[in-house]
Amino acid sequence: MLRTPSGGAAPGAAAAEGRLMSIGAVLGLLRDEFPEVTISKIRFLEAEGLVEPQRTPSGYRKFTLRDVERLAQVLRMQRDHYLPLKVIREHLDAFDAGEQVALPAQAAPAELLDPAAPQPGPPVRVDRAELLARTGADERELAQWESYGLIEAHPEGGYDAETVNIAKLVRDLGAFGLEARHLRAVKAAADRDAGLVEQVVAPLRRHRNPQTRAHAEATARELAALTVRLHGALVHSALGLRQI
């Protein structure tokens, strides 16, 4: 049975036994334990195959209490253990097969870590010469990428791994005749997508629960991955291409 954090039955759970529920009712059952969950999140988990609600003839989703408990399992594994969806799916398959699965130890959010314990070092950054060597670009090209905002050095100097990856992609597109000025629209679209993701995760980062705040980064990564997939699908559709 779906439980509250204190271990009691969630409000409405007993009444939900034996009947089908709308997605709104499911949201109401989950929000006591998972205040950050949204209807979009439930739909996303369905799209990823982690829950399979029934459908009415008119297409409306109908969930059983078992579906709600499965969703709660997924959300707990994300919140408490920071597991990626692929690993969560494997755990659920094992549970369904009746296997005993050991979950990793519950991760502590950064706020609860021992401040005296060794902390991870700063991310590795490369200098300008190394960036040019890794991409095969020259100073003129790099200056163009920077002038159009495609590449940006870290405030403390150097370029991080993600910036190196962006530089390689810009260089690869340049081989097809696409210059930095042509990619301004791509950069603007990425900035808009980042703004949408930030709108969703900002309330999580301000939440009083430290685990919810720590979960914000995982949520941002999921949303970023979804926007990338959507962008790719839209480009393929516009060109009349099949997804690879």
pTM beyond 0.75: no
User: Tell me, what's the pLDDT at 140?
Assistant: 93
Identity (one letter) of the amino acid at 196? Answer: L
Q: How confident is the model at residue 113 (pLDDT cuts 50, 70, 90)?
A: very low
Domains in the chain with CATH codes = 13-106 (1.10.1660.10), 128-239 (1.10.1660)
- What whole-number percentage of the chain has pLDDT above 90? 34
Tens digits of residue pLDDT in 189-221: 999 999 988 888 888 777 777 767 777 777 888
* Helices of type H across the chain: 13-16, 23-30, 39-47, 65-81, 85-96, 128-135, 139-147, 161-174, 184-205, 210-239
What distance in Å separates the CA atoms of residue 185 and residue 165, rounded to the nearest whole number? 19
- Average pLDDT over the chain, rounded to whole? 82
Stated as kind and residue range, the H or E segment containing 54 is strand 54-55
What distance in Å separates the CA atoms of residue 74 and residue 51, rounded to the nearest whole number? 9
Tens digits of residue pLDDT in 141-185: 999 999 999 999 988 889 988 899 999 999 999 989 999 999 999
What distance in Å separates the CA atoms of residue 11 and residue 3, rounded to the nearest whole number? 9
- Is the per-residue pLDDT at 102 higher than 90? no
Whether 209 and 216 have beta carbons less than 8 Å apart is answered as: no
Whether 163 and 152 have beta carbons less than 8 Å apart is answered as: yes
Buried b vs exposed e over 6-24: b needs ≥16 C-beta within 10 Å? Answer: eeeebeebeebeeebbebe
Q: How confident is the model at residue 110 (pLDDT cuts 50, 70, 90)?
A: very low
Tens digits of residue pLDDT in 12-52: 554 445 689 999 999 999 998 888 788 888 998 998 889 99
User: Tell me, what's the pLDDT at 12?
Assistant: 52
Q: State the helix-helix crossing angle for 85-96 and 65-81, rounded to 10 degrees.
A: 130
Tens digits of residue pLDDT in 115-145: 444 445 556 788 999 989 988 889 999 999 9
User: Tell me, what's the pLDDT at 147?
Assistant: 93
